[in-house]
Structure 1
Amino acid sequence: MSESGILAVYLQERSKLARLLVARLGSAEEAEDILQELWLKLNGTPLGPISEPAAYLFRMANNLAIDRRRSAAWRAVREAEWVETQPAASELPDTTDVMIARERLAHVQAAIAAMPEREARAFRMFRLEGKPQKVIAAEMGVSLSLVEKLLQNAYRRIHDAGRENDAGRRAPPRLFSKEDRT
């Protein structure tokens, strides 16, 4: 059967195909979408001889409906999983927490920048690059105990910088003492 012949059978069987698709999909709009897709496939694809053109069309329509339902099911699963992975509003940090975290990060970065070069290098290699202390010692050409000391000093500097930062952000001074309130 030629292309024009299969298109003629399509036009002849269109109402039956539409009923089949509505029954399969439960939606006249989706059935029309699939009929349009079927028309485009028939129009754009060279076909060989088809002995049962009506059965061929119904099989194609049914396959397209199955594909549509599978896609919809996967889309629903994907969207449900996406929604599950999104944090709830209560899980998001408030503005104050974000500002405090940024301020702390700036102080840590400043503390690292103020460290002696070997200390900062050992700290970056260990904490940021995730290298073992033995590897750091070998790369820097120093002993393992020196790497441990460099890291201890780095931690102490960062800790001290954090305490200095927190001291500046303590509770506001009291305007009245306990004796003044009585």
Structure 2
Amino acid sequence: MTQGGGLAAAYLEQRPALLRLLSARLGSVSEAEDALQDLWLKIEGGTTGPVEHPAAYLFRMASNLATDRRVAAVRRGTLETAWDAVQPQPTEFPNSERLLLSRDALAHVETRIAAMPERMQAAYRLFRIEQVPQREIATRLGVSVSAVEKLLHRAYLHLHRPGGLDDD
């Protein structure tokens, strides 16, 4: 049986073979070197008791480390892919031309809303901007729900009609 010091001696003796094993399992010599460093730190931690077959114990530890690293790499890849999938694409950011066109369209809509009759404007703003239910709008304006529906219908027509409020 070997104590922690004996495990360290076995590590030094088996290091080239452990490096080959980890390189094969991890697919990279640099990853294998990192895993070997982790293995050495675990040995130096010395929390194990006497080990009957130190070489077999070290190879099992190395194999477990390789498995843990592969699982972590898969998880990391999955998270990175998920993160990339939710990131905005360059086409989603407004360029200066789209920004100016959007501002112009907003100013045009605001002008059309401002030109609406007072009740129609109030009904439209409450429903579309403040998201107040039609029943509550009817109560606030002192009209029926049917009248609110008609006001909203006329507001939509005025907003989408090429001439706007010309024929009111």
Task: Bin the TM-score by the shorter chain.
Answer: 0.5 to 0.7
8 Å Cα contact 1:22-1:31 kept in structure 2: yes
| Alpha-carbon distance in structure 2 between the residues aligned to 1:8 and 1:108 | 80
1:103 matches 2:104:
yes
Which residue is equivalent to 1:119? 124
Residues 120 and 84 of structure 1, relative CA distance in 2, 3 Å threshold: closer
What does 1:51-130 align with in structure 2 at a 5 Å threshold? Answer: 51-76=52-77, 95-108=96-109, 116-126=121-131
**Distance in 2, Cα, partners of 1:73 & 1:33:** 17
How far apart in 2 are the matches of 1:85 and 1:144? 41
- 1:47, distance to aligned residue in structure 2 (A): 2.9
Counterpart residue type for residue 126 of structure 2: R
Counterpart residue number, 1:16: 17
**Which of the numbers 134, 139, 159 marks the counterpart of 2:136?**
139
How many angstroms does 1:11 deviate by?
2.3
Unaligned runs of 5+ in 2: none
Q: TM-score normalised to the size of structure 2?
A: 0.63
8 Å contact kept, 1:122–1:150: no
Secondary structure of the 1:30 match is helix
In the aligned structure 2, how far is the partner of 1:69 from the partner of 1:12?
26
**3-state SS of paired residue (1:47):** coil
Gaps of 5+ in 1: 165-182
Letter in 2 for 1:14: R
The CA distance in 1 between the partners of 2:91 and 2:52, in whole Å, is 64
For the aligned residue pairs, the C-alpha RMSD in angstroms reads: 3.9
Q: Structure 2: how far apart are the matches of 1:146 and 1:45?
A: 82
CA distance in 2, matches of 1:47, 1:144: 78
Q: Give the alignment's TM-score, normalised by structure 1.
A: 0.60
Q: C-alpha displacement at 1:81, in angstroms?
A: 6.4
Query: Contact (CA 8 Å) 2:134, 2:149: kept in 1 or not?
Result: no
